[in-house]
């Protein structure tokens, strides 16, 4: 038994690491048995991340690994190595791009899971990963090794189907039965298939890659059934094939423990993005696209206590992925006039307060009114703004 890992064959203009693996498996000699297909998302802030930021791996069983490795050498040289150096820029995808740098690795046994945890939580160089029994290519070896070393202590599934070659070449819009997609996520077995707030379909990518759709599910059987349900519809285009992967999506593996702090101040920036400065010096960001999370951040005041989690970016701010109010400071308001009910006003520093209507005066004072948060528990971004790795809060 051995493990094969692969990464970095895709870019925003085309290509797909999952489809590359699918084609490789289809061409393996029949004497080898493939199992444990896995798709592993990696550190979201990695500088040289691919479009989907995911690596893939499979377990392969057989008697003659010498023959297998010769076949993999051939496949690498003929099919994968030519994919190196692909690069596409797009105004719809402003993040700086890196040319594709495919990598493939072979391990006779799984490497220590430490490689995975580094690759999902921080920037990793090629020198930081476990050494494979055999490897091909460049930077993609990092993700390929991480996918193999993933311990899969917590996991979900994704069923991915791919378009035919003619469909990809045509560049036309994907055809998937929208009415059947609308039936998904009615329970908790499939997730992040669509976003009801924006009426967005989330299972089909927009770029010119081979993926037709990818259905995320909490069980393997649900993923298989939902995939077949869409494929069998007359309103879904023909597919080249499909495969179910075990994944680390919706596991929160990229995050550490929840943190807490007291708010020092907030700054509301362009489009409603909120910067939260904590009394411990940490800065948090709730971006405009984060929906209820952004709304809750805008509600905060000095000395509110919050719990939060997110990723530390290169600019030393934490990009929030969830937020919760632990305690809120009360509002301080002037009392009402006992005679007419109008709010009293200050007459100046170190002076009484006075009713602006009936002129009754009283000693300077304040009243405290409790502030009720707009949300009682955790909030996170809507489906179309969540990271693949983030666990939905309704699962906790």
pLDDT tens readout for residues 147-178 = 999 999 999 999 999 999 888 888 788 999 99
Predicted local distance difference test score (pLDDT) of residue 97: 64
Please indicate, yes or no, whether residues 321 and 230 belong to a single structural domain of this protein. Answer: no
Residue 55 lies in a domain: yes
Does the CA dihedral 127-131-136-142 come out positive or negative? negative
**Final residue of a domain: which of 247, 271, 300?**
247
Please report whether residue 58 resides in a domain.
Answer: yes
Q: What is the pLDDT of residue 13?
A: 56
Residue 360 lies in a domain: no
Q: Is residue 339 part of a domain?
A: no
| Alpha carbon 345 to chain centroid, angstroms | 50
Q: Would you say 148 and 2 are in contact if contact means Cβ atoms under 8 Å apart?
A: no
Q: CATH number, domain at 383?
A: 2.40.50.1010
Instruction: Give the separation between CA 76 and CA 236, rounded to whole angstroms.
Output: 33
Under 8 Å between Cβ of 285 and 264: no
Which residue among 247, 275, 295 closes a domain? 247
User: In the prediction, which pLDDT does 185 show?
Assistant: 78
Same domain, 43 and 10: yes
Evaluate whether residue 334 is within a structural domain: no
Whether residue 155 lies inside any domain: the answer is yes
- If asked whether residues 142 and 8 sit together in one domain, one would say yes
Instruction: Indicate if 49 and 122 belong to the same structural domain.
Output: yes
SS3 at position 377: coil
Backbone angles phi, psi at 77, to 5 degrees: -65, -35
Q: Does 308 lie in the same domain as 224? A: no
The residue length of the chain stands at 396
Query: How far is residue 376 from each of residues 28, 325, 371, measured CA to CA in Å?
Result: 54, 7, 12
Residues 185 and 322 in one domain: no
Nearest to 202 by CA among 241, 249, 246: 249
Boundary-marking domain end, from 223, 247, 271 = 247
Q: Give a yes or no: residue 294 inside a domain.
A: yes
DSSP string computed for 133-159: SEEEESTHHHHHHHHHH---SS-EEEE
CA angle 302–304–308, rounded 5-degree value: 120
What is the per-residue pLDDT across 49-66, written as a single tens digit (0 to 9) for each?
766 789 999 999 988 888
Gap between the Cα atoms of 186 and 69, Å rounded: 45
For residue 255, give the DSSP letter: -
Residues 6+ apart with CB under 8 A from 153: none
Of 169, 181, 143, the C-alpha closest to 52 is 143
Number of domains forming the structure of the chain: 2
CATH of the domain at 48: 3.30.70.2200
Same domain assignment for residues 189 and 144: yes
Rounded CA gap, 349 and 44, in Å?
A: 53
Burial of residue 122, with CB atoms counted within 10 A of its CB: 0-12 exposed, 13-18 middle, 19 or more buried: middle
Rounded Cα–Cα distance for residues 244 and 233 (Å):
19
Same domain, 312 and 194: no
Q: Contact at 8 Å (CB) between 17 and 5?
A: no
Q: Which domain holds residue 176?
A: 2-247
Are 27 and 117 members of one domain?
A: yes
Classify 60 as helix, strand or coil: strand
Give dist(CA 75, CA 294) in Å, integer. Answer: 48
315 in the same domain as 174:
no
Residues 59 and 172 in one domain: yes
Looking at the fold, whether 27 and 147 belong to one and the same domain comes out as yes
Q: Please tell me the predicted confidence (pLDDT) of residue 95.
A: 60
Cα 396 from Cα 392, distance rounded (Å)? 8
315 Cβ contact partners less than 8 Å away, ≥ 6 residues apart: none
Q: Which residues of the chain have pLDDT under 70?
A: 11-14, 50-51, 87-97, 187-188, 196-199, 396
Under 8 Å between Cβ of 29 and 60? no
Q: Is residue 254 part of a domain?
A: no
Q: Is 267 left (phi over 0), alpha (psi -120 to 50) or beta?
A: beta
């Amino acid at each position: 038994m051995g493990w094969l890992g692969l990464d970095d064959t895709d870019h925003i203009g085309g290509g797909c690491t999952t489809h590359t693996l699918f084609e490789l498996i289809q061409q393996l000699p029949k004497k080898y048995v493939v199992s444990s297909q896995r798709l592993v998302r990696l550190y979201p802030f990695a500088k040289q991340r691919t479009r989907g930021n995911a690596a893939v791996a499979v377990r392969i069983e057989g008697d003659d690994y010498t023959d297998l490795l010769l076949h993999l050498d051939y496949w690498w040289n003929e099919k994968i190595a030519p994919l190196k150096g692909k690069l596409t820029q797009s105004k719809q995808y402003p993040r700086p791009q890196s040319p594709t740098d495919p990598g493939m690795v072979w391990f006779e046994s799984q490497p220590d899971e430490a490689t995975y945890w580094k690759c999902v939580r921080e920037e990793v160089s090629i020198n930081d990963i476990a050494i494979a029994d055999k490897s091909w290519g460049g930077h993609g070896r990092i993700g390929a090794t991480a996918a193999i070393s993933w311990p899969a202590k917590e996991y979900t599934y994704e069923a991915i189907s791919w378009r035919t070659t003619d469909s990809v070449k045509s560049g036309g819009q994907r055809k998937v039965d929208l009415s059947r997609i609308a039936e998904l996520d009615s329970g908790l077995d499939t997730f992040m298939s669509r976003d009801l707030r924006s009426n967005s379909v989330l299972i089909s990518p927009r770029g010119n890659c081979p993926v037709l759709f990818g259905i995320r599910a909490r069980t393997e059987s649900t993923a298989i059934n939902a995939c077949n349900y869409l494929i069998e519809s007359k309103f879904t285009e023909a597919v080249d094939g499909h495969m179910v992967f075990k994944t680390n999506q919706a596991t929160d593996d990229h995050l550490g423990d929840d943190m807490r702090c007291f708010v020092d101040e907030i700054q509301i920036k362009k489009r409603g993005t909120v910067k939260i400065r904590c009394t411990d010096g940490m800065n948090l960001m709730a971006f405009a696209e984060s929906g209820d999370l952004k709304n809750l951040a805008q509600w905060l005041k000095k000395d509110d206590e919050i719990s939060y989690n997110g990723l530390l970016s290169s600019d030393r701010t934490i990009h929030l992925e969830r937020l919760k109010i632990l305690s809120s400071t009360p509002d301080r308001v002037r009392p009402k006039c006992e005679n007419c009910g109008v709010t009293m006003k200050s007459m100046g520093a170190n002076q009484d307060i006075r009713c602006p209507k009936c002129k009754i005066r009283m000693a300077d004072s304040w009243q405290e009114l409790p502030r009720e948060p707009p949300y009682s528990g955790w909030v996170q971004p809507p489906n179309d703004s969540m990271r693949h790795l983030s666990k939905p809060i309704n699962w906790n």
